[in-house]
Amino acid sequence: MKYLIHTLVVVVALSLDSLKAVELPRGIPDAVDGNMLVATIADRHELKDNYPKLNRSELEEIDGYSVVQKKSISDFVLIVEAVKIIKELAVEGGPLGMCFSPRHYLSYMSEYGEVRLEVCFECSRVRIDMGGWGKTLSVNKSGARKLNEFYEKIGVVVPKMYQKN
C-alpha cells in the first residue's frame, strides 16, 4: 500500500510538471498543414424559417448545432487566410454572452492539436476549443464582414441573417 501511494504521488507530480510545459497561446494559434473545416451552423428551431428547403432530419450536427453547409479546405494559402481573418476578428474578451448562438464554425490543426471555433456575432463572442482547453474571446465587429466574404469566396453559404439582400 505504501509503495502504491508513493507511485501515485510520483505520477501526479510528473503529470503536473508536464502541464507546466504546455503553454497555450493567448489568442488564436496558427494552422499547420492539413485541412480546415468551414461550416455554417444553426439552431434546429431556426431552420424552418431561415432555411426552408433543407430537410432537417437529414442534417449533420456539430456540437449540437445543425450544419447548413460545410466545406473542407486543403489549400494551405486559404487556411492561412482564414486564420488571419479569425485572428483579426477575435480579441481578448470575457465570458460567453447569454444568447451565444453561433452561425460560423471553423476547425483546423495547430501545434496544440485540433482548434475549433464557434462565432456568434449577436453577442460578439468567439468560443475556442484547443484540444479540450476552452476560452472565450470578444468579436471585433469589422471582422464579421471579412469572415462572411471568405465564406462566399470558398463557396459556403453565408448565414441567413448576414446575407446581402
Is 125:104 a contact under the CB 8 Å cutoff?
A: no
Number of domains in the chain: 1
- Residue 9 belongs to some domain of the structure: no
**Alpha helices by DSSP H, 22-111:** 47-50, 76-89
- The pLDDT tens digits of the residues spanning 44-61 come to 888 888 888 888 888 999
155: left (phi over 0), alpha (psi -120 to 50) or beta: left
The CA distance from 31 to 28, in Å, is 9
- Residue 45 belongs to some domain of the structure: yes
- Residue 121 belongs to some domain of the structure: yes
pLDDT on residue 14? 44
Does residue 82 surpass a pLDDT of 90? yes
Q: Could you tell me which residues come within 8 angstroms of residue 29 by beta carbon, excluding any fewer than 6 positions away?
A: 110, 111, 112, 115, 130
User: What pTM, to 2 d.p., does this model score?
Assistant: 0.78
- Residue 5 belongs to some domain of the structure: no
- Residue 40 belongs to some domain of the structure: yes
- Residue 51 belongs to some domain of the structure: yes
Does residue 10 surpass a pLDDT of 70? no
Residue 148 structural domain: 25-160
